[in-house]
Copies of this chain bind each other. A is one copy, B any other.
Amino acid sequence: MSTIPSQEATSLHPEIIERIRGLMPKEEHILDLADLFKLFADSTRVRILFALTKAELCVYDLAALLGVSQSAVSHQLRLLRNAKLVKNRREGKIVYYSSDDYHVDIVMNIALEHLKEEKGSSAEDLE
């Protein structure tokens, strides 16, 4: 994913490019952003995030709800935990997970809005 492109490109509008270059976020921040969105880019994780904004659930509950293995859920929860999108607390043997970030709900809803508008043009069923 990182070899030197041999088909290099030279800008057609160098002045504009220079101006934009000054406005771009630092590469580090771009990577962080992409990494964060990667977490929303998988249907299993989206469903986990959705469920956890509605209730505090244990791993087995999530596995049953989503119809995937306990292991798969656990692996995904670790990713979400590392990014501080979900938190957990232990009660005896059971570990309860819940949403740890109000942004999640907001972002999800904005995304759903975009989808509505996008499909709206072709006047499909939206419900």
CB of A75 within 8 A of chain B?
no
List chain B residues, Cβ under 8 A from A23: 54
Chain A interfacial residues counted at CB < 8 A: 69
CB of A29 within 8 A of chain B?
yes
- Cβ contact within 8 Å between B33 and A108: yes
- Cβ contact within 8 Å between B33 and A112: yes
In the complex this chain forms, how many copies of it are found?
2
- A50 interface neighbour in B9, B30, B111, Cβ under 8 Å: B30
CB of A47 within 8 A of chain B?
yes
Cα distance, A111 to B84, chains bound together (Å):
12
CB of A79 within 8 A of chain B?
no
In A72-116, the 8 Å CB interface with B consists of: 72-73, 83-84, 94, 101, 103, 106-108, 110-115
- Cβ contact within 8 Å between A34 and B24: no
- Cβ contact within 8 Å between A12 and B58: yes
- Cβ contact within 8 Å between B32 and A40: no
List chain B residues, Cβ under 8 A from A103: 110-111, 113-114
The proximity string for A residues 23-44 relative to B, scoring 1 for CB distances below 8 Å and 0 otherwise, is 1111001111110111011110
List chain B residues, Cβ under 8 A from A42: 34
Q: Given the interface contacts A24-B51, A46-B33, does A63 sit within 8 Å of B9 by beta carbon?
A: yes
